[in-house]
Amino acid sequence: MQSYFKFEFLHFFFNKKNIAVYVILLFFSCYYAMVVAPSYDPIEKVDKLEMEARYLTREDFLNSVNTERMHPSTAYAVMTYPEWNEYEKGRLDALEEHDFKKYAEATSKWYTYSDGMIYKGGDFLFYHPRYYTYGNNYAREDGHFAYLSAASRYEGYAEGDYALSIDVFEERTALQTWQRLLQSYLPFILIVSCILLSADIVLKDRRNPTLLRGFPMSPWRRLLVKGGVALFGSILAFIPLAAGLLIIGARNGFGSLDLPVPIYSHVDKSFSLISLSEFMLQNMALIILWFVLIISLLLLTSILIRNEFANLFIGFAVVIGEFTYYTRGIGFIREVQWYPTSYIQVGQVISGYRNYVYESNALTLGNGATVLSACVCIILLTVFIISNLPKFKQL
Amino acid sequence: MIELKEIGVRFSGRDVLKDISVVFKPGEIIGLVAPNGTGKSTLMNVMMNYVSPQTGQVIFNNGLGYTSKKNEVKIHQLISMMPDQSDLYNYLSGREHLKIYSSMWNSNKQLIDQTIAALDMGSYINKKTGTYSLGMRQRLCFAMQIVSDTQMMLMDEVMNGLDPTQVEIISRILEKKKSEGKTIIVASHLLENLEKYADRIFFFKNGELELVSDLSPGFEQKELTTIRIEELPDAVSKLLCKEFPELDIQTLPNQVTLINVQGATSQQLTRVVAYLQEHSVTEFNLGKVSLLDLYSMYYQKA
Amino acid sequence: MLPFLRGVCMRNVLKTVLMIEKSNKKNIAACIIIAVFVFGLISFITTEEKGNLIKERTGDYQSVSSALYKFQIEDASENGDGSDLYKNLVRQQRVISTQRMAARVDRPALYLETSLELADLRDAAFKMDGFQDVALYLPTKTENQLQRVYYQELVNEGKSVSQNPLSFYQFLGYLFGIIGAGWFIFVSIYSCGILIEEFQHTSLIKGYPISFGKYVLAKCSSAMLMVGIFILLLFICSLPLIYFNGLGDSSYPVAVYSGSIEVFTTIKFIGVSVLYMLLIALFAILLSIILNMLLKNMYLTMFVQLLLYISPYLFPGMMAFVPWNPINYLNFSRIFNGETLDLATPAALYMSQGLITIGVCIVIMLFIIKAFFTAGKLKRV
């Protein structure tokens, strides 16, 4: 078994296609680090001018407003602006003094207060204007989530003992970039790489069938070894991606694994904090589970359909499966948590954002692990049964 | 007709083919015999233009040569080479393979069924080739070439993996094709079988072709030339040499002793046979040198 | 061979290639993917409520409101202290409200009238000072122009603004409007092994009494035949919509950028799209053949093609710099909606230009295949 593993392993890494996958990942990760990451422009950034403008206009307003016979909205403003501005002032002062801890504290309060005002405030108060891009019908919801998330995050910064910096606040450090990417397209890239790496793991043997048919090993165990090699190879895909991380780290710092990451809970509609390391571990666990699922699925299609294109098409169908049923709030009506494809955006599932947009409280790490493992079990069982059929021929 | 003119091929400093000049005529079966890796396949590849020779040229009917792509197509209409077993389309049936060859060479469609019947492939011809055994695949490859019905046919190891009955059937088909006026070039290791139907047999050594009848002048005649003794004890052999110094006695690397009796009188023959019996050598035969012996003589010499 | 026999021969090759192709599971897999795509799109339109005017206008309203939020104004009236842009935006907001009401109480004429008014207002806004600050909240110039000619055409032709997006022609219009983004990728993946598969059978192919160029051409034709079937399948899978939602209007306008902003009828739009799809498919197949011969690996072929496809996204500046680069046109949906005009370095890429460049490239690739590739040196991989 061990020697067969070694044999498959060598095959895997001398496969031109697999080398190309790693090279392309390396290219993308460097491209991202050099071109995309520097132009990252978060909406919730540390923008002194913006704060000042907001603060001064409101101060002006408060100083000049005629408090007799006010319009109700004016009265509302007169009521709310003083506290709002107090936090804003706190942020500005902290920045002036380079006291990041104090800044974090004030910012957290500012976000909590702002959200409280805006979310209930009806049609005349707004979140940061950049949420309201043309065509975004859910700007309010996006803003709400982002403000609460930021409030929770800054609260974490204020309470803990971290080496704070503007880069940390704007989530530009290497580890935080990684975390942000996990919540956007990194899971897709990893899973697609996994598909590409394992699409031919079984069918490549057709090129030299007589060589392999006689190996003293049952087809089932052989398939298992192949799956193992593919899994190992997929996990190694992290290495070329890490190159980009090093570049970002050298420029913006690496950040710390203890930094807080806000996690949304749809049940009590609020955020709690976990450490970045915990967030990463949970992500890795789910991504690796995805690898296992994809690989076992491809093993199954390999012995059922025996065509590499079918493998590719089916793999990609799983990746884009969620788009066919996803709409905001659909989780309220449909039990989306039982579809494995709902967990494809791994980082967003862990951070609770998927729960938020689905309006479901069941898309959790635990449920994801259960659903995906159940799928893996069913698929592997099918593979086991098929590969043990008396008529089964692997090639 | 194929004419090879001073064909020379060198692979990494080694002469694989050295100044080969020979003509193959219609209605002729040519046997090529040589150990593995001596250049038989290269020669066939040169004839198909899969390998371009460094010197010399291959000329077909009417002076047609591989001078342009257009000519190559014209030549491939005339000559075919048996496909490799491993190159069959596993998801197509045997009949579909035959149809492909028939339509690519635009040959008579009836040949398909005739060949299937002749090779007794009816029971499996409609199944996918992925399910075929080695022998079945080999027969299919042969059938494909027969169906292509080209004027010249190159067959590399045509009898591989076939049982004696099949070898017999294929030999008969080859003879039939010869009588139709085709030029067939066969490389084979089944020497006894080759001996039966080949008109000319060539040995291949150091990049050169040697006609077997040149090596052993009596080879192609039907006369008594040799006494063959398998496993003659050394002592007896020495005694024999002393007793009959006028005869050419030779022991081959394959332990066969040949006594050349070409032109000997019947008296002499009787004496030799009696002498052998005297020394309790009972297993010998009178006849001519077999191809196997020549092969041994030619290739196994030290 | 006699010249008159050549035709027969090519037909025979095609027959052979089709026989090989017909039992290839790849084709079936691709057909299933197409069908799933069409049905998925139908369900997507249903759940997303595409064509729900009220919902779309509400989004517009919010965007303009947040643009207004950028300004600190004391007197918002017509002769107040607001800038021209501010007043323009306020008017836009008012027009959108009317538009929303018109949609709600179902008064199509009023809706069209206000739509045109809005487009005019936006057109004016582009030239005003400070537009860059609010650009994010408004459609781009090209988007606005496209909308403008679309509404104008509706007025001219007296057509209704609300169409069932799931009627046959309307659905096809939507489908062909987005398929350009993925078509090249689909055909690349489909064709990336076109010759590699043949490399497994070299001893058969090498000896065929036909030039390799012709054989490749036959492979190419059979692949194009499959592409034709794929396109046909798009129509066939949409046929049930006729039963459920009717045919729709084949002459309904679709605004496109073709060098200038103009309107096509839905049927013409579909026609041009199909033409583009056929050319792009041929381009992808020939590219696959060349890359197969060079790289001898199906996945490497696929990767190179995908990298080519995304190169305009990675280096957008290249588009304006080399406008005749065929790769710019592989996502033809992007060309049709004039997206490249709104880039940081605008590139005026238009339809006919794309057809010509892709066409020229096809001819060049055919020439390369004919001139440089021979079967003799084929080796198993």
pLDDT tens, C248-266? 888 899 898 888 888 999 9
SS3 for chain B, per residue? CEEEEEEEEEECCEEEEEEEEEEECCCEEEEEECCCCCCHHHHHHHHHCCCCCCEEEEEEHHHEECCCHHHHHHHHHHEEECCCHHHCCCCCEHHHHHHHHHHHCCCCCHHHHHHHHHCCCCCCCCCEHHHCCHHHHHHHHHHHHHHHCCCEEEEECCCCCCCHHHHHHHHHHHHHHHHCCCEEEEECCCHHHHHHHCCEEEEEECCEEEEHHHHCHHHHCCCCCEEEEECCCHHHHHHHHHHCCCCEEEECCCCEEEEECCCCCHHHHHHHHHHHHHCCCCCEEEECCCHHHHHHHHHCCC
| Per-residue CA distances from A87 to A94, A144, B39, B141, B181 (Å) | 10, 18, 90, 86, 104
- Nearest chain C Cα to B91, which residue? C23
Per-residue confidence (pLDDT) for residue A212, from 0 to 100:
65
Residues C195, C296: Cα–Cα separation, whole Å = 9
Scan for tokens 């509302």, then name that residue.
Answer: A76
- Other CB atoms within a 10 A radius of the CB of residue A35 amount to 11
Q: What is the CATH number of domain B2-215?
A: 3.40.50.300
DSSP letter, residue C201: T
In degrees and rounded to multiples of 5, residue A170 shows phi and psi of -90, 10
Q: What is the pLDDT of chain B when averaged over all its residues?
A: 85
Residues A394, A3: Cα–Cα separation, whole Å = 19
Lowest mean pLDDT among A137-146, B78-87, C74-83, C236-245: C74-83
Per-residue confidence (pLDDT) for residue B223, from 0 to 100:
65
Q: How confident is the model at residue C377 (pLDDT cuts 50, 70, 90)?
A: low
The mean pLDDT value for C366-370 works out to 87
Per-residue confidence (pLDDT) for residue C2, from 0 to 100:
40
- Other CB atoms within a 10 A radius of the CB of residue C255 amount to 23
C183-206 pLDDT per residue, tens: 999 999 999 989 888 888 888 888
- Nearest chain B Cα to C17, which residue? B100
The mean pLDDT value for C146-151 works out to 88
The answer to whether residue B240 scores a pLDDT higher than 90 is: no
Per-residue confidence (pLDDT) for residue B107, from 0 to 100:
87
Percent of chain B predicted with pLDDT > 90:
27
* Residue among B109, B79, B105, B80 at smallest CA distance from B95: B109
Per-residue confidence (pLDDT) for residue C129, from 0 to 100:
81
Where along chain C do its domains lie? 5-49+165-372, 53-157
Residues B301, B254: Cα–Cα separation, whole Å = 10
Note whether B106 contacts C207, CB cutoff 8 Å.
Answer: no
The answer to whether residue B16 scores a pLDDT higher than 70 is: yes
Residues C141, C131: Cα–Cα separation, whole Å = 11
Q: How confident is the model at residue B220 (pLDDT cuts 50, 70, 90)?
A: low
Interface partners of chain C (CB pairs < 8 Å, 3 or more) are: A, B
Note whether C8 contacts B73, CB cutoff 8 Å.
Answer: no
The mean pLDDT value for C119-133 works out to 84
Strands in B28-33's sheet, in edge-to-edge order, are: B79-81, B152-156, B183-187, B28-33, B200-205, B208-211
Per-residue confidence (pLDDT) for residue B268, from 0 to 100:
80
* Residue that wins the pLDDT comparison between B205 and B122: B122
* Residue that wins the pLDDT comparison between A157 and B208: A157
- Nearest chain C Cα to B96, which residue? C19
Per-residue confidence (pLDDT) for residue C6, from 0 to 100:
45
Nearest CB to C66 within list A132, A324, A325: A132
Note whether B104 contacts C12, CB cutoff 8 Å.
Answer: yes
Per-residue confidence (pLDDT) for residue C1, from 0 to 100:
37
Percent of chain C predicted with pLDDT > 90:
27
Task: Sort out which chain A residues have CB atoms less than 8 A from C314's CB and list them.
Answer: 31, 35
Note whether B104 contacts C1, CB cutoff 8 Å.
Answer: no
Query: Under an 8 Å CB criterion, which residues of B touch C?
Result: 48-50, 52, 69-70, 72-74, 76-78, 80-81, 83-84, 87-89, 91-92, 96, 99-100, 103-106
Where along chain B do its domains lie? 2-215, 220-299
Nearest CB to C204 within list B73, B74, B83: B83
The answer to whether residue C3 scores a pLDDT higher than 50 is: no
- Looking at the complex, report in whole angstroms how far the Cα of residue C1 sits from the nearest Cα belonging to chain A: 36
Q: Which of C23, C199, C203 to mutate to test the interface with B (most CBs of B within 10 A)?
A: C203
CATH topology for the B220-299 domain = Alpha-Beta Plaits (3.30.70)
Note whether C29 contacts A309, CB cutoff 8 Å.
Answer: yes
Task: Sort out which chain A residues have CB atoms less than 8 A from C21's CB and list them.
Answer: none
The answer to whether residue C5 scores a pLDDT higher than 50 is: no
Burial of A365 (0-12, 13-18, 19+ CB in 10 A): middle
Per-residue confidence (pLDDT) for residue A211, from 0 to 100:
63
pTM confidence score: 0.81
Interface partners of chain A (CB pairs < 8 Å, 3 or more) are: C
Q: How confident is the model at residue C7 (pLDDT cuts 50, 70, 90)?
A: very low
Per-residue confidence (pLDDT) for residue C81, from 0 to 100:
66
Residues C252, C257: Cα–Cα separation, whole Å = 16
Note whether A134 contacts C63, CB cutoff 8 Å.
Answer: yes
The helix/strand/coil state of C208 is coil
What own/partner pairs with CB < 8 Å and gap ≥ 24 does A236-241 have?
A236/A22, A237/A21, A237/A22, A237/A25, A237/A190, A237/A193, A237/A194, A237/A197, A238/A190, A239/A22, A240/A22, A240/A23, A240/A25, A240/A26, A240/A29, A241/A25, A241/A26, A241/A29, A241/A186, A241/A189
Per-residue confidence (pLDDT) for residue A20, from 0 to 100:
93
- Looking at the complex, report in whole angstroms how far the Cα of residue C17 sits from the nearest Cα belonging to chain A: 19
Nearest CB to C207 within list B76, B91, B103: B76
Nearest CB to A129 within list C36, C66, C200: C66
- Nearest chain C Cα to A310, which residue? C29
The answer to whether residue C66 scores a pLDDT higher than 70 is: yes
Task: Sort out which chain A residues have CB atoms less than 8 A from C200's CB and list them.
Answer: 207
DSSP letter, residue C256: E
Per-residue confidence (pLDDT) for residue A1, from 0 to 100:
75
Residues of chain A with pLDDT under 70: 122-123, 208-214, 394-395
Helices (H) and strands (E) in chain A, counts: 17, 2
The helix/strand/coil state of A191 is helix
Note whether B87 contacts C203, CB cutoff 8 Å.
Answer: yes
Residues C248, C162: Cα–Cα separation, whole Å = 11
Residues C191, C281: Cα–Cα separation, whole Å = 9
Note whether C376 contacts B88, CB cutoff 8 Å.
Answer: no
Per-residue confidence (pLDDT) for residue B210, from 0 to 100:
84
Task: Sort out which chain B residues have CB atoms less than 8 A from C201's CB and list them.
Answer: 83, 87-89
Residues A192, A287: Cα–Cα separation, whole Å = 12
Note whether C136 contacts A313, CB cutoff 8 Å.
Answer: no
Query: Under an 8 Å CB criterion, which residues of A touch C?
Result: 16-17, 20-21, 24, 31, 35, 57, 123, 126, 129-137, 139-140, 196, 200, 207, 305-310, 312-314, 317, 323-325, 327, 330
Per-residue confidence (pLDDT) for residue C381, from 0 to 100:
52
Instruction: Please give the sequence-ordered ranges of beta strands (E in DSSP) within chain A, or none if there are none.
Output: 260-265, 270-275
Note whether C203 contacts B91, CB cutoff 8 Å.
Answer: no
Per-residue confidence (pLDDT) for residue C276, from 0 to 100:
94
Q: Which of C23, C37, C66, C194 to mutate to test the interface with A (most CBs of A within 10 A)?
A: C66
Note whether B99 contacts C206, CB cutoff 8 Å.
Answer: no
Residues A142, A356: Cα–Cα separation, whole Å = 10
The answer to whether residue C12 scores a pLDDT higher than 80 is: yes
Task: Sort out which chain B residues have CB atoms less than 8 A from C27's CB and list them.
Answer: none
Q: Which of A124, A306, A313 to mutate to test the interface with C (most CBs of C within 10 A)?
A: A313
The mean pLDDT value for B254-271 works out to 79
- Looking at the complex, report in whole angstroms how far the Cα of residue C215 sits from the nearest Cα belonging to chain B: 11
Note whether A309 contacts C26, CB cutoff 8 Å.
Answer: yes
The answer to whether residue C4 scores a pLDDT higher than 50 is: no
Note whether C204 contacts B96, CB cutoff 8 Å.
Answer: no
Percent helix, strand, coil in chain C, to 5, is 70, 5, 25
The mean pLDDT value for C270-278 works out to 95
- Nearest chain C Cα to B98, which residue? C16
Note whether B106 contacts C9, CB cutoff 8 Å.
Answer: yes
The answer to whether residue B77 scores a pLDDT higher than 60 is: yes
Nearest CB to C137 within list A134, A140, A313: A134
Task: Sort out which chain A residues have CB atoms less than 8 A from C138's CB and list them.
Answer: 134
Task: Sort out which chain C residues have CB atoms less than 8 A from A324's CB and list them.
Answer: 40, 43-44
B218: left (phi over 0), alpha (psi -120 to 50) or beta: alpha
Residues C97, C93: Cα–Cα separation, whole Å = 6
Helix H or strand E segment including C288? helix C266-295
Note whether B76 contacts C208, CB cutoff 8 Å.
Answer: yes
Note whether B83 contacts C15, CB cutoff 8 Å.
Answer: no
- Looking at the complex, report in whole angstroms how far the Cα of residue A105 sits from the nearest Cα belonging to chain C: 27
Note whether B48 contacts C206, CB cutoff 8 Å.
Answer: yes
Contacts of C101 (CB under 8 A, 6+ apart): none
The answer to whether residue B66 scores a pLDDT higher than 50 is: yes
Residues A181, A40: Cα–Cα separation, whole Å = 12
Query: Sign of torsion, CA B43 B49 B50 B51?
Result: positive
